[in-house]
Amino acid sequence: MCENNGSSFPCSTHRGLVISDTWPGYNLDVFSLPNHYCEDLECVYIPHGVIVDRIERLASDIMKDIGDNHITVLCVLKGGYKFCADLVEHIKNLSRNSERFISMRVDFIRLRSYCNDKSTEDLQIIGEEELSKLTGKNVLIVEDVIGTGRTMKALLSHMENYNPKMVKVASLLVKRSAGNNTYSPDYTGFEIPNIFVVGYALDYNEHFRDLHHICVISDKGKEKYKV
């Protein structure tokens, strides 16, 4: 999966686990998948076990950076809920067994910027009243996917109105694209090509959230579930 190292395996950098443009994913036949989705997927792109192990390392990095603080975790729904839940649980487990301690509360917002598989210019913030609670707080935003970066930059700009003390961003996935060269989150799980993936709570028009693995949706799946 790693770019420019002659290997099919992922490499770890400050950009997270980098998956190359040529990574074909895993054959669907070697994983357990819901039968009703099998014809709608091309491959298993990131297996569930790899996701969980990577999140555990992100939790460790966050503990090292911002331990001994009270943190407000701002989960971006809906796609971020699974990542957020697992990340918070790992941080709690590390905190229980560490001399450092992170006290956390979790709030939720929703951002809307996609139509089918395309990002749009419009950003809608649902649950904006939660942002008013962030004044003077240390905030960890937990997002599922950062694509062009426009949505996250717009959210961060909007949050400045509420004067948080500190803001960090953790994203499970960051997509490489020509338009995303000016923003990188503080914590990245995986850097992937600019492809549309589903599973592990990531959806396509509210479908596929129940997949344990991150998968590539097929053209047939896009057509079947488009709105």
Better-predicted residue by pLDDT, 145 or 9: 145
pTM: 0.86
> Average pLDDT of the chain?
86
The Cα–Cα gap between 107 and 141 comes to 10
Domains of the chain plus CATH, in order, are 13-225 (3.40.50.2020)
C-alpha distances out from residue 166 to 106, 117, 138, 206, Å: 16, 32, 5, 32
pLDDT at 7 over 50: no
pLDDT band at 83, cuts 50/70/90? Answer: very high
Q: Which of 42-51, 93-102, 197-206 has the lowest mean pLDDT?
A: 93-102
Per-residue model confidence as pLDDT tens digits over 118-149: 555 566 777 777 788 899 999 999 999 998 88
CA 68 to chain centroid, in Å, comes to: 25
